[in-house]
Amino acid sequence: MAAVMVEHIDKFLIWLEVEKRYSPETLRGYGIDLNQFCQFLEAQDIECLNHPDQINRGVIRSFLGHLSGELVQQPRSVARKLAALKSLFKYLHREGIVSLNIASYVHTPKLPGVIPSYLSETQIVAVLDKLGESDSWMGKRDLAIVELFYSTGMRISELAGLSPNDLNPNKGTVTVLGKGSKQRVIPVGQYAWEAIEAYTSASKQKYGFRENNQPLFLGKNGTPLGPTGIRLRVRRAIKAIAEMKKMSPHVLRHTFATHLLNAGADLMALKDLLGHANLSTTQVYTHVQVDKMKKAFQMAHPRAGKK
pLDDT in tens, the chain (307 residues): 446 899 999 999 999 999 888 888 889 999 999 999 999 998 887 788 888 999 999 999 999 999 988 776 788 788 899 999 999 999 999 999 999 999 999 988 776 656 678 899 999 999 999 999 999 999 999 999 999 999 999 999 999 999 999 999 999 999 998 887 789 999 999 999 999 999 999 999 988 888 889 999 999 888 999 999 999 999 999 999 877 777 889 899 999 998 998 888 888 888 899 988 877 777 777 766 666 666 766 777 676 665 5
Tell whether the torsion through CA atoms of 248, 68, 47 and 96 is positive or negative. negative
Q: How many independent structural domains does the chain possess? A: 2
Specify whether 81 is located in the same domain as 126: no
Catalytic residue, chosen from 86, 250, 254, 271, is 250
Contact 196, 148 (CB under 8 A): yes
- 111 within some domain: no
Catalytic residue, chosen from 81, 140, 155, 254, is 155
Residue 230, domain CATH: 1.10.443.10
- 297 within some domain: no
* Residue where one domain finishes, among candidates 105, 135, 154: 105
Distance, CA of 197 to CA of 195 (rounded, Å): 5
Contact 95, 77 (CB under 8 A): no
Specify whether 43 is located in the same domain as 135: no
Specify whether 92 is located in the same domain as 139: no
* Residue where one domain finishes, among candidates 105, 137, 172: 105
- 295 within some domain: no
Interaxial angle between packed helices 137-152 and 249-262, expressed in degrees from 0 to 180 and rounded to the nearest 10:
50
- 293 within some domain: no
179 annotated active-site:
yes
Predicted pLDDT of residue 2? 46
Specify whether 92 is located in the same domain as 144: no
Predicted pLDDT of residue 7? 93
HEC profile of the chain: CCHHHHHHHHHHHHHHHHCCCCCHHHHHHHHHHHHHHHHHHHHHCCHHHHCHHHCCHHHHHHHHHHHHCCCCCCHHHHHHHHHHHHHHHHHHHHCCCCCCCHHHHCCCCCCCCCCCCCCCHHHHHHHHHHHHCCCCHHHHHHHHHHHHHHHHCCCHHHHHCCCHHHEECCCCEEEEECHHHCEEEEECCHHHHHHHHHHHHHHHHHHCCCCCCCCCCECCCCCECCHHHHHHHHHHHHHCCCCCCCCCHHHHHHHHHHHHHHCCCCHHHHHHHHCCCCHHHHHHHHHHHHHHHHHHHHHHCCCCCCC
Predicted pLDDT of residue 290? 63
Specify whether 94 is located in the same domain as 131: no
Domain that holds residue 168: 121-263
- 292 within some domain: no
Distance, CA of 29 to CA of 87 (rounded, Å): 13
Specify whether 132 is located in the same domain as 215: yes
Specify whether 63 is located in the same domain as 143: no
Specify whether 84 is located in the same domain as 128: no
Catalytic residue, chosen from 253, 254, 259, 271, is 253
| HSE-CB of 75 using CA atoms within 13 angstroms | 8
Catalytic residue, chosen from 21, 130, 276, 287, is 276
- 30 within some domain: yes
Residue 72, domain CATH: 1.10.150.130
Catalytic residue, chosen from 80, 179, 210, 287, is 179
- 137 within some domain: yes
- 247 within some domain: yes
276 annotated active-site:
yes
